[in-house]
Amino acid sequence: MVPAAEPRLKQIAQKLKQLRLDKGYSSYEAFAFDHELPRVGYGRHEQGSNLTLKSLLRLLDIHQISLAEFFADIPAHQEGRTIVGTENNAAES
């Protein structure tokens, strides 16, 4: 289960599940098998457990989408947190 402090992990998990469903897989186990992914590990990813960047990149390659496309509809920050911009190293509160 995803801790309340990490709603973005839940959003990532939901997005992974939706991508699988969009590919026509009703079962995460069949998807994992067909793409040579560890069944239990992939199931945990869809439940919101922490995943490595390597695992995420592999899944994005399977779905043929970029990091930018994957994260496009996931909020960049939560209220009360600071975001550090890439342009001119600007920081916002």
> pLDDT tens-digit profile of 11-59?
999 999 999 999 999 999 999 999 999 999 999 999 999 999 999 999 9
- Whether the pLDDT of residue 62 is over 60: the answer is yes
Render pLDDT for 63-78 as a digit per residue (tens, 0 to 9): 999 999 999 988 776 5
Contact call for residues 9 and 51 (beta carbons, < 8 A)? no
* pTM given for the model: 0.76
7: confidence class by pLDDT, cuts 50, 70, 90? confident
Helix (H, G, I), strand (E, B) or coil at 92: strand
Q: Which residue has the tokens 């069944």?
A: 39
Domains in the chain, please, with CATH?
A: 7-92 (1.10.260.40)
Band of the pLDDT at 82, cuts 50, 70, 90? very low
Within 10 angstroms of residue 51's Cβ, the number of other Cβ atoms is: 19
